[in-house]
Structure 1
């Protein structure tokens, strides 16, 4: 599966499965500590299946299975977890920043359409811990001599449709396949002498947990 889809984005669960197989290989004596640490670091930095697959290619499958360590999307309970985050009434319909700033982050519910405007200011729309009113939400950004950042969690599909005039919309995350059951976020709008950025990030708690696990593995 990973050989057929080398450019498909890997999820946190995929990286964790590879990390677990590397821990087993260390315990079995198949890897020494230096090899283990090098591969583990590479695993947590990997963005695609193509980058994960070589890390376990020379290791035998677990429990006699021929399945690769980096499983395809849809395995596990990811769909159920996403389903629990979709539904309910939006808790904020928009944000305005005029020579100032606004932030929407933490535990909130993103509406079907979130309209935001920034003039000589900036805004942050952080969806990492958010719920979603519908399977598809639209973030409409108008940035005039200002900027906005849209932060999404791994697994969410992002589509960028904004227009920039002497400004721009970051479309590097556009077109990346989402996980089964994950919401779709459409970022649209207009930027003049300004910009709209889209980033994928873990929450602070997830980063701390990852660092903790890496320390325990050493």
Structure 2
């Protein structure tokens, strides 16, 4: 089947991307709350791509997702302070420790996909106080992830979706205190 065929069936990734695009248009002030509800209904009930396209007409052009990779074969990877986090961030480390402090980071988007490819060694991620962390796509080999979910204390926190694979290390995730 031709991937550009507008009548081909809609998959979960396509639907999630369309929902995210609608949410971005709403938070950017391009559509009203009522229009968001109407278009979300169209997206969630769409069966073919041409039905999705109808729900996304007249929205601002989608910005290409920026992806950055931080990698090291051995040694430490350490990011903290004020730094810019792209929509997609990939962290690769064969041996060594990884520490990402996102508490003061500047997020380009409200949703960040963080892909971890860690062999051995410890991983530690500090997320903003109001962040929502999703771990469904992360596979651990030896030890489980240590994370205690926290109820957001206010609006505006990013959603951080962590995927990838952990080998023989342990990943600890915690929320910033301030």
TM bin (shorter chain): 0.5 to 0.7
Question: Paired residue for 1:102?
Answer: 77
Q: Give the deviation of 1:146 after TM superposition.
A: 1.7
3-state SS, counterpart of residue 150 of structure 1: strand
SS in 1 for 2:163: strand
User: Contact 2:67/2:88 (CA < 8 Å) preserved in 1?
Assistant: no
Is the CA contact (8 Å cut-off) linking 1:157 and 1:179 kept in structure 2? Answer: no
Unaligned runs of 5+ in 1: 1-82, 84-88, 207-218
Q: Which residue of 2 aligns with 1:143?
A: 118
Candidates 127, 135, 141, aligned match of 1:165: 141
The counterpart of 1:184, out of the listed 153, 159, 174, is: 159
In structure 2, relative to structure 1, the CA distance for the partners of 1:125 and 1:140 (3 Å cut) is: same
Q: Is the 8 A contact 1:101 1:122 kept in 2?
A: yes
Indicate if the aligned counterparts of 2:113 and 2:163 stay in contact, CA closer than 8 A.
yes
TM-score (ref. length: structure 2):
0.57
More helix by share: 1
* Conserved? CA contact 2:129–2:152, under 8 Å: no
Q: Is the 8 A contact 2:99 2:123 kept in 1?
A: yes
Query: Structure 1 or 2: larger strand share?
Result: 2
Q: Is the 8 A contact 1:144 1:191 kept in 2?
A: yes
Q: Is the CA contact 2:67–2:90 (under 8 Å) kept in the aligned structure 1?
A: no
Contact 2:66 2:87 in 1 (8 A): no
Please say if residues 107 and 131 of structure 1, whose CA atoms lie closer than 8 Å, have aligned partners that are also in contact.
yes
- Looking at structure 2, the residues matched to 130 and 90 of structure 1 have their Cα atoms a distance apart, in angstroms, of 18
TM-score by length of 1: 0.47
- Name the CA distance, whole Å, in 2 between partners of 1:92 and 1:121: 23
SS at match of 1:138: strand
- Aligned-residue CA RMSD in angstroms? 2.7
